[in-house]
Structure 1
Amino acid sequence: MEAHPIYDALDIDLVVKVLNHTAFSPFFTCMIPIFYYFQGARWPDTILVVTLAYTIGVSAFWFLKWYSRLFRNQGSLLFGPPRFDWGDQIVVITGGSSGIGELIANTLAVRNVCVVVLDVNPIVTENYNITYYKCDVSKWEEVEATAKTIVEELGHPTVLINNAGVVQGKRILDLTPADIQQTFSVNTLAHFWTLKAFLPEMIKQNAGHIINISSVAGMVGMAQLTDYCASKAALISLHESLRYELDHQYKAKSFSFAVISALDEQHSQIIYLPFYANFVPFLAIMPSFVRDFGQWLSGCDYSMEKFVKVSGRRPEEGPAPKTNSIEEERAKDD
C-alpha cells in the first residue's frame, strides 16, 4: 500500500481556517495586549498601542461582516433565527446523482432529511431516505410533471438546491449549436424551471431555502469555457435579482441562500470556495496586467486542454472514453 504524506490535505482553505481562529480571531487577538500589560507594558508603550489597534481592527472587521449578513437577512440584533429542524425538511437537489450533488444528498440523508434527487441518471446510494426521480431539468415540461409527482407523493419541498451543471470544455469554434444549447439549458434555464415549479409554495408559506451553486468561472473568463462562463455569469445575475425580487416584490423575508452549514444558521450568504475566490470580484477593477498575472498563476486558461466530458453526454456524443482515475491508480497500488 502506497503511503501518502499528511500534507496532501494541506491547502489555502485549511490555512485560512486556522488563521481565522488565531491571528484573525477577536477573542485570540484581545489576549495579546492583555499579555503585554501583565508583562509590565503601560500606555502609551508602542507594543501596547500596536497590539490594541490590531485587536480593534480585527474586531471591527468581524463586526461589520456579521452586521452585513444580519442586515441582508433583516435579522434582529438581539435574537437569532429559530432552530432549523432538519426532520421537517424536504430537500430537492438537481444533478444529485454525481459530484457535489451526490455528496450533498448523502450528507443530508445522514441527518435524516427527506432528500429528493432530480437527475437523468439514478443515484447509487444506501441511504433509504433519498428518493430519485428521473428528470431532465433543462426541460420545463419534465420539471413541471416531476414537481407535481413530488408534491403528491412526498409533499411540498422546503429547500431547493440548484446544482445541475454541464461542461463541454471546447473552444468556441469547436462548440456545436447542440453543445451551446445544452450548456445554457442545464446551467441557466433549468434554474428558472425549478424556481417556477417550487417557489410559489415557498412564497405562500413565506419560508424556504434556495441554494444556487455557481462557479468562479461566472465572474471571470477562461479559455475553452466560453459557454460555461457565460451560463454561470447569467446564474449569478439570476441569483442576485431573485434575492431582491423576494425581498422587495414578494416580501418573502424568511428566504435563505446557502449550503448545509449556512442552512443551520438560516442566514442568506454567498459562499466562495476555495478561499481565493473571495478576491475574484476585485480583479475587474485591477490593472489588466494584475488580472492577467492572476489568470496565469491559476492556470485556468489551460486547465481544460485534456478535459474529457463525462456527465451530461448526449446520445450523439456516445459513451465517455475510459480513463484511469486517481482512485483507480491507488486501488492498483493497494
Structure 2
Amino acid sequence: MPSGQFSDIPETLGVLDVDVFIKVLSRTLFSPFFTAFIPLLVASQRQQWDAPAVKWSAGWFFLLSMFWSLRFISKLWRNGGSLLYQSARTSWENQIVLITGGASGTGELLANTLAVRNVDVVVLDVNPIVSENYNVHYYKCDISNWEEVNVISKRIIEEVGQPTIVVNNAGVVQGKPLVELSAEDINQTFAVNTLGHFWVLKAFLPGIVKQRFGHIVTVSSVTAFAGIARMADYCASKSAVISLHESLRYELDKIYRTPQIRTTLVTTGFIHTPLFSRSSYAATETPSPLPAWLFHFFAPPLDSHEVVKAIIAALDANESTDIKLPFYAHLVALSRVFPSWVRDVLQWVILQISGADYMMENFVKVSGLRGDEEVVNDEGSKEA
C-alpha cells in the first residue's frame, strides 16, 4: 500500500481483507478435496453412516464437487481442451508482446516484468517508458488515431516482428458530471478507451490470425457493470470493450476458425496507478462512509503487481479466461442477472461500501492531458 494512504488502518489489517478470507475458504470449506474428509471424520467418531451430520457433510461435498466439475468442464469447453490431456502452456520463445499504455502504471510493470523473461515487448504510448531492459521497444503512438496506428504498426512488424500477444491496456478518465463534459472530453474518452482497442486490433489481428496462434488481452473495469457518478463516459467506454471482447471471441471461433487464439478479459476495481492518483481513493480520506479499515477490508484497492500477476498467469496457461479483481468485482458483475429490485439493493450496498459515487468528487486529471488542458500541481494551482 502506498505510503500515507489509509494511515488509520491498524497494521495487522494492512494486508487483511475479504479477498484473503475468500482465498482461505476456497481452499478449505469450499474445496472438494478438503470437504471429502469431513464425512469420513464424522463417521469415525462412532457416528452411524445415516446420521444427519454424516449426510449433511456428504451432501455438501457432493454439491461442491458438482460446482467445481461444471467450472472445469466450462474451462475445457472454452479452450477446446480434453479430459485426457492438458493444453500446452505458452512457450515464451519468439513471443512478441504489444502493450498499449505501457509507459506507466500496470502497463509499465507488465512490460518490464515480461522483459525480464527475455520476451520482446513493444510499448505504444504518447509518453516514453522508463526501462533498463534492452528488449523493451517503445513507439510513440496516439492509439486514438487510426492513421497513426496504421503507420506505426507497419514499422513495428518490419523492425521487431509480428506481435503474438496484444494487451489493450491504455485508458483515460475525465472525472466530470455528464453535463460538464465537453465534446473534447467525450471524444477523447471513447477514442482512447474504446476506439483505440479497435484500431490496435485492426492493425495487428490479421497477422495473428495468419499465424493461427496468439493471445488478446482486453483490459476493462468493474465500472462497466455499474454506473458511477462523474464517470458516465468512462463506464460506457469500458462497457463497450466488453462487448468488443465477446464479439472478437466468436469471430475467432466462427469466422477465422482459430479457437487456439486465446482471449482474456480483465475487469478490476481501483488500482493504484497515475490514472486515478488524484481521486479520493488515492487520498488519505476514503470516499466511503465506513471507517477506513472497514472500507479497506471490503473494497481493497489493488496494487499493479496483483493485476500483472493475474495477467501473466493467464498468458502462461495459454487459456482464454476472465480475470475479476478484487472479489467484489464478481458480485458487481453477477448483480446484472438478478431482478431489478435485487440489483438496485446490491448496487446500493456495494456503492455504499466502496464510496464509488464520491471517489471523483475532487478529482484532478493528471494522465492523458490534451493540449487544451491545464496542468494542476499538488497544491491545486494551475500551471502553464
Amino acid at match of 1:13: D
Q: Pick one of 192, 198, 206 that aligns with 1:186.
A: 192
CA distance in 2, matches of 1:67, 1:217: 29
Q: Pick one of 249, 262, 279 that aligns with 2:331.
A: 279
CA distance in 2, matches of 1:110, 1:323: 38
**SS class of match (1:78):** coil
Is residue 292 of structure 1 aligned with residue 316 of structure 2? no
Aligned counterpart, 1:205: 211
Displacement after TM superposition at 1:46 (Å): 1.3
CA distance in 2, matches of 1:155, 1:307: 40
Q: Please say which of residues 187-196 and 82-91 is displaced more in the overlay.
A: 82-91
Alignment root-mean-square deviation, CA: 1.9
Q: Normalised by the size of structure 1, how large is the TM-score?
A: 0.92
Displacement after TM superposition at 1:252 (Å): 0.9
Aligned counterpart, 1:64: 70
**SS class of match (2:86):** coil
Residues 147/278 of structure 1: CA separation in 2 closer, same or farther (3 Å cut): same
Is residue 50 of structure 1 aligned with residue 102 of structure 2? no
Aligned counterpart, 1:245: 251
Higher helix share: 1
Displacement after TM superposition at 1:185 (Å): 0.2
**SS class of match (1:23):** coil
Aligned counterpart, 2:97: 91
Residues 127/39 of structure 1: CA separation in 2 closer, same or farther (3 Å cut): farther
CA distance in 1, matches of 2:27, 2:111: 29
Q: Pick one of 32, 35, 40 that aligns with 1:29.
A: 35
Aligned counterpart, 2:225: 219
The equivalences for 1:114-193 within 5 A come to: 114-193=120-199
CA distance in 2, matches of 1:15, 1:139: 44
CA distance in 1, matches of 2:42, 2:379: 59
Which structure 1 residue ranges, 5 or more long, are not aligned? Answer: 325-334
Superposed CA offset, 1:129-175 (max 9, x none): 21111111111111111111111111110000000000000011111
Aligned counterpart, 1:328: none
Q: Pick one of 367, 374, 378 that aligns with 1:311.
A: 367
Displacement after TM superposition at 1:41 (Å): 2.5
Which structure 2 residue ranges, 5 or more long, are not aligned? Answer: 265-310
Question: Contact conserved, 2:332 with 2:347, CA < 8 A, in 1?
Answer: no
**SS class of match (2:323):** coil
Displacement after TM superposition at 1:323 (Å): 6.0
Aligned counterpart, 1:267: 319
**SS class of match (1:168):** coil
Displacement after TM superposition at 1:38 (Å): 2.6
Calculate percent identity across the aligned residue pairs. Answer: 52
Superposed CA offset, 1:33-57 (max 9, x none): 2222333323111111111111111
Superposed CA offset, 1:171-229 (max 9, x none): 11111111000000000000000001110011111111000000111111110001001
Runs in 1 of length 4+ with deviation above 4 angstroms?
A: 1-4
